[in-house]
A = this chain, B = another copy of it.
Amino acid sequence: MEAGKRMDEHETCGHHGHAHDAHGPARTADLVARAERLAQDLGLQFTALRRRTLEVVAEEGRPLGAYDIAERLSVPGKRVAAVSVYRALDFLTEHGLVHRIASRNAFVPCEHGHGAGESAVFLICRSCGSVDETISAEIERSLDRTLAEAGFKPASRIVEIEGECGACQGRSEAG
């Protein structure tokens, strides 16, 4: 695998000032650059619609439904249908640029450089709706072990934890 060399700059979390405030323009540019590189390398088309879809998702900082994305992409006189967004999202998820949150029917930008096959853990806050993506080799290992014991050959993995993020815990306790 190729992914191993990138040092994870975002410091999963000592306190709560962690990854999920790292959206916005910078994260967007990052992702778009990654997409362009990837498209070039693999001979894929990173079209305007796919780019704009990725940008919308990346800017948001919380999971967006396909219809929400379609709405944001639409301008008076030029409406983008949800079905087009779904196709763009298919492309983006397939190449690990965005992730689908199954428990919310919504999409978030990928916060790591890992490929589509890698497994991530999504921490979904019930209070603020933010989603934090973390990776744990330990979890992957124990998962792999369990799968091996069951004789199960995994293709994709979904790990989503709902609860309350650190920031919201502090907020609800302190008032």
Contact = CB atoms under 8 A, between A and B. Distances in A.
A123 to B, nearest CB: 5
A37 interface: no
Contact of A150 (B12, B139, B150): B12
Interface string A142-165: 110111011111111111111111
Interface residues of A, number: 41
A132 interface: yes
A132 to B, nearest CB: 7
B138 A145 contact: yes
Given A160-B102, A161-B158, A162-B154, A138 B142 contact: yes
Q: Is the interface of A mostly helix, strand, loop or mixed?
A: mixed
Nearest to A167: B151
A152 B164 contact: yes
Contacts of A169: 151, 153
A166 to B, nearest CB: 3
B155 A163 contact: yes
Interface core residue of A12, A126, A161, A164 (most chain B CB under 10 Å): A161
Given A102-B102, A136-B146, 18 more contacts: A12-B149, A12-B150, A16-B151, A102-B160, A103-B158, A138-B142, A139-B142, A141-B142, A147-B161, A151-B166, A151-B169, A153-B163, A154-B161, A155-B162, A156-B161, A156-B162, A158-B159, A158-B160
Across the A-B interface, give the 4 residue pairs with the lowest CB-CB distance, nearest first.
A151-B166, A154-B163, A138-B142, A155-B163
